[in-house]
Amino acid sequence: MKRSTATGGPALSEIIDMNLFPELKNLKVLLVDDDEWIRHSLGLYFEGEGCHILTLETAEEGMEAVKKQEFDIIITDYRLPGMDGLEFLRLIRGISPKAKRVLVTAYGNEDVITRAREIGIRNFIRKPFSSSALEASLKRMVHPREDFLGHAKEEGIHG
């Protein structure tokens, strides 16, 4: 998917794409979301970029996966059947302390954000989200000191 600016040059999001996926190829990503369409779409998206991602439906399945292998990035939805995503991220903190954690939510109210920050979550993606919002969040995790001209804030990411 090509994007360009009015001047004919690459858009900021395409510059992010060029550097992000080669770096992600070396990382293990876990996605926990009860929405089959999101799991399938993001699985295809990452595979299309040559990246590996394990997609699971529940936090309980995510717990089992984290116990069996190390992940570099763990992305989870807030609303899940059974254990919610926030509790899942709190519990895995002790099992996988080096993993970067991202909370995806359509319920980004102050209570959820405050509780997430209390357990060390700094990366949030609001639903519905675009591929560029996801890429910007991942890029901020891979290169936390780079700003990208406020692109992440424009995409509705808070952190």
Question: Which CATH number is 40's domain given?
Answer: 3.40.50.2300
Angle at alpha carbon of residue 144, lines to 139 and 147, rounded to 5°? 80
Look up the domain containing 57 and give its range.
14-158
Domain membership flag for residue 6:
no
Residue 29, SS3 per DSSP: strand
Any idea which residue has 């070396």 for tokens?
26
DSSP label of 159: -
Q: Note down pLDDT in tens along the chain; length 159 residues.
A: 333 334 444 443 443 444 677 777 878 899 999 999 999 988 888 887 777 899 999 999 999 999 999 999 999 999 999 999 999 999 999 899 999 999 998 876 788 888 889 998 888 888 888 878 888 888 877 776 544 444 434 344 444
pTM over cut 0.85: no
